[in-house]
Amino acid sequence: MTDHELDPLPYEYDALEPHISEQVLTWHHDTHHQGYVNGWNSAEETLEQNRESGEFDTSGSALRNVTHNGCGHILHDLFWQNMSPDGGDDASGALADRIEEDFGSYEGWKGEFEAAAGNASGWALLVYDSFSNQLQNVVVDKHDQGALWGSHPILALDVWEHSYYYDYGPARGDFVDAFFEVVDWEEPNARYEQATQLFE
């Protein structure tokens, strides 16, 4: 069984201030994200024990917990990596070119992504869809409802209330604006190039 672990943040807890506070990053990473890691490990342990014993009564719920907690861990890890104290510029490189191609313009993509963030009960994602060979914006509720099969997340924005309410209250749109002040496009660009090398 793989033992999943929570990696440290790739920057200091106060590095994204004033856009995201040290307090929110501390709670969000150390407590909330850790909970998904723990939940994934617990579910995997249950499945392993059930396979060994031949008793599968609890396997169905454990499988759901793998999906929920595993997606929670993966998307949070991506969220942390997508941001940087050096972020805030517009998209660049091959990903910027592809955004222009698939959405018509950076502004067209960003407006649609912001709409996804305003409608999601979980995450707004920019994904590379290997089935249709194009970028897509995706509204994901919780961590795994609304995901697109064959897609690879490139950019992730967590819009659960725990991500922003302490800093912004109910003004989710202000948090979305703040996210763009810390997005480091070098990381999603590298992730996009990796995904397209696999499938194009």
Residue 197 has a pLDDT of: 86
In a domain, 5, yes or no: no
Are 98 and 75 contained in the same domain?
no
Residue 145 has a pLDDT of: 85
28 is in an annotated binding site: yes
97 is in an annotated binding site: no
Residue 1 has a pLDDT of: 61
Domain boundary among 33, 58, 82: 82
158 is in an annotated binding site: yes
One-letter identity of residue 154 = I
Cis bond before residue 170 (omega within 30° of 0): no
Averages of pLDDT over each 10 residues, the chain, 200 residues: 90 98 98 97 97 97 95 96 94 94 97 97 95 95 85 95 96 97 95 84
What predicted TM-score, i.e. pTM, was given to this entire model?
Answer: 0.94
Are 101 and 174 contained in the same domain?
yes
Q: Residue 37: which domain range?
A: 22-82
**What's the CA gap between 7 and 36, in Å, rounded?**
13
Residue 82 has a pLDDT of: 97
